Amino acid sequence: MTVQSVLSVAAILFSLGLYCVLTRKNAVSVLMGVELILNAANLNFVAFSSFTGTIGAPEVAGRVFAVMIIVLAAAEAAVALAIILAIFRRMGTVEVDNLNELRE
Amino acid sequence: MTSSEFYQLAPELVLLLAAAAIIIVDLASAHRRVRLYSVLGGGAAILSALLVVPLVHNAHGEGFRDMMVSDALSVFLIPLFASATLLTIIFSERVREVVTGRFAEYVVLLLIMTVGLTIVASATNLLVLYLSMELIGLTAYGLTAFDPHRARSVEGGLKYAIFGAVASGIMLFGMSLLYGMTGELSYDALGEALGGMSAGAPTSALQFIAVLFVLAGFTYKIAAVPFHAWCPDAYEGAPTPFAAMMSVAPKAAGFAALVRFFFTVFSDPGAGGQFVAIDVVPWQAVLGVISVATMTFGNLAAITQQNLKRLLAYSSIAHAGYMLMGVVALSRDGVSAVMAYLVVYLIMNMGAFFVVMVVAERTHTEDISAFSGLGKRLPLVSACFAVFLLSLTGIPPFAGFVTKFFLFAAVLQRQGNWYVVLAIIGVLNSVVSLYYYARVLRAIYLTEPVEPVAEIAVPQFRTAVLALLAVLTVGLGVYWNPLVEVAARVSEFL
């Protein structure tokens, strides 16, 4: 397996995630798109750290970064889902298009 | 952690300790102790600002394996963040939506957000930058959506959170590309490795893409085009004192990180305090375009606003555009001008938000029409508001004029037609902004109240703080030397 193939998968994941974020109307689906984007970055970091450095002493910084991203993605999802829950209780919908209390 | 690293981190540690203390007191006691929490939080903010003082003269220390640095820039910004936090806590104390039951959480989140802000300002490593930006984000989402019973609050919070998540995801992807090209995460090493790659190399296109992606994170933090759309919704939805904080502090942190990142990684020092962008990545031009788009959009969109919080939100977008000009100037003078602007912006913009808040608390609406005839009902506060708005426009003799002048001067010091064009667009934008700020002033002074209303009573302490901010705005507009000298020293970190 070459680094190119891993990077291609990551690029495709990133594009799918961005497409999902831009087109989905449901707030939860948008969050899933964000998750794809974050994991694309993760894949990049892990791939780069495995394919650079010498054998036996790989570049670990990228892996550390990936672990941090996983943790923060969970934290971010928790906060965002809490807000979505509050919205659902308040308005009975999580469709982004229906959220137009704030519009001039 | 060595002892010098300990002193470097002392302001953050104080804030975290105060946050922990507030949590424990809140869990242990059965009563709401609003006053105690605000004293603890405000005291911690003051103490963290004071702890910076010994660092002023021997601040040039990198710590934590070069991941964070304590230099002129971070030493300058920590008191700025601390004063924003202090003002926010002072004005939050009586806000109903904040105080009902959960004031402890509010102060704790504010303090943790301040920690994030200070770390963003001192990060010299991509990982630390990402972590601290997320720390700001996570606390800010919660504070924006603080009142779960108000539809606007949670809606603003959701929009803020989704934009933030997308922007930081895109930024991360860009960071991963930078890491892949160099194998490095720290700014210095990144700059060295990228500087060795010539313009014709196959990686140059990739470098450019990576920079554009990383810019997504920065433009989101400073609320610049194209990641500005969350800004009006989040400001309108958030509790007003926190909206004031949000319009200033994360913007300042974003500018600090932006300057640090681009000046260390993507530019080389040139003659006379000016810098040269490396030719592989034309980031200076990109930022110039973003600057023009941001100020033009912000000013044009502000014209039609009826809600004052939204109007101030669009005006804050426009101000981010002005400040970007100072970064585009790519010189020490430009950076100093941005830093001086941030100080004055904190004073006048938070002042304006607080006036809107104290009035809206009585009239229960933030529409401009509710401000009709305010000059008669509330003379002193109205006068302060007029000072803030005129200063935001950039009219002498107020501080906003002085700092804007230095911003334009820094741009024009660079030789070249594009700099002149940029400055002219900036001036034209200031003229446009006069229109909507003057519209508010007209409502206050030249319109009769819609219905005869009783006088509005504002607590004396708040009036005193507002008056102090207004006096500072006028004072720095007349006697600006101290501010300009301090700001000039900030750019020594480069």
Host H or E run for residue A87: helix A61-91
Q: How far is residue B35's CA from residue B207's CA, in Å, rounded to a whole number?
A: 52
Residue B451: what pLDDT?
64
- Supply B267's token pair: 């530019």
Q: How far is residue B339's CA from residue B385's CA, in Å, rounded to a whole number?
A: 23
**Residue in chain B lying closest to A75 (CA):** B138
Residues of A in contact with B168 (CB under 8 A): 76
List B residues 157-176 in contact with A (Cβ-Cβ < 8 A).
157-159, 161-162, 164-166, 168-170, 172-173, 175-176
Q: How many whole angstroms from its chain centre is CA B381?
A: 24
- Supply B212's token pair: 């554009």
A38 interfaces chain B, CB cutoff of 8 Å = yes
**Domains of chain A (ranges plus CATH)?**
3-93 (1.10.287.3510)
Please report, as a single letter, which amino acid is at residue B180: G
For residue B288, tell me if it sits in a domain: yes
**Residue in chain B lying closest to A37 (CA):** B169
Q: How far is residue B363's CA from residue B74's CA, in Å, rounded to a whole number?
A: 40
User: What pTM value is reported for the model?
Assistant: 0.95
Phi, psi of A70 (to 5 degrees): -60, -45
**Is A64 in Cβ contact with B149 (below 8 Å)?**
no
Angle at B89 between CA B87 and CA B94, to 5 degrees: 115
Domain of B374?
Answer: 282-494
List A residues 44-103 in contact with B (Cβ-Cβ < 8 A).
44-45, 47-48, 52-53, 59, 61-62, 64-65, 68-69, 72, 75-76, 79-80, 83-84, 86-87, 89-91, 96, 99, 101-102
**Contact criterion met (CB below 8 Å) for B342 and B326:** no
Count of structural domains within chain B: 1
Residue B491: what pLDDT?
87
For residue B477, tell me if it sits in a domain: yes
List B residues 281-340 in contact with A (Cβ-Cβ < 8 A).
304-307, 310
**Is A91 in Cβ contact with B127 (below 8 Å)?**
no
**Contact criterion met (CB below 8 Å) for B375 and B444:** yes
- Find the CB nearest B176 among A44, A87, A91: A44
**Which ranges constitute the DSSP H helices of B126-202?**
126-144, 151-182, 187-195
CA distance B247 to chain A (A): 18
Residue B56: what pLDDT?
78
pLDDT (mean) for A5-10: 93
Please report, as a single letter, which amino acid is at residue A48: F
Angle at B343 between CA B339 and CA B345, to 5 degrees: 105
**Is A102 in Cβ contact with B152 (below 8 Å)?**
yes
- Whether the bond between B239 and the residue before it is cis, its omega within 30 degrees of 0, is no
In the 8-state DSSP scheme, what is residue B123? B
For residue B7, tell me if it sits in a domain: no
**Is A37 in Cβ contact with B170 (below 8 Å)?**
yes
Which residues of chain B are under the pLDDT cut of 50? none
B231 interfaces chain A, CB cutoff of 8 Å = no
**Which ranges constitute the DSSP H helices of B239-282?**
240-265
For residue B391, tell me if it sits in a domain: yes
**Residue in chain B lying closest to A46 (CA):** B176
For residue B303, tell me if it sits in a domain: yes
For residue B44, tell me if it sits in a domain: no
Q: How far is residue B472's CA from residue A103's CA, in Å, rounded to a whole number?
A: 35
**Is B173 in Cβ contact with A65 (below 8 Å)?**
no
For residue B152, tell me if it sits in a domain: no
Q: How far is residue A102's CA from residue B13's CA, in Å, rounded to a whole number?
A: 38
Residue environment code for B402-423, b if the CB has 16+ CB neighbours within 10 A, otherwise e:
bbbebbbebbeebeeeebeebb
Please report, as a single letter, which amino acid is at residue B5: E
If we measure between CA atoms, which residue out of B250, B290, B257 comes closest to residue B175? Answer: B257
Residue B479: what pLDDT?
94
**Is B176 in Cβ contact with A14 (below 8 Å)?**
no
For residue B83, tell me if it sits in a domain: no
ipTM of the complex: 0.95
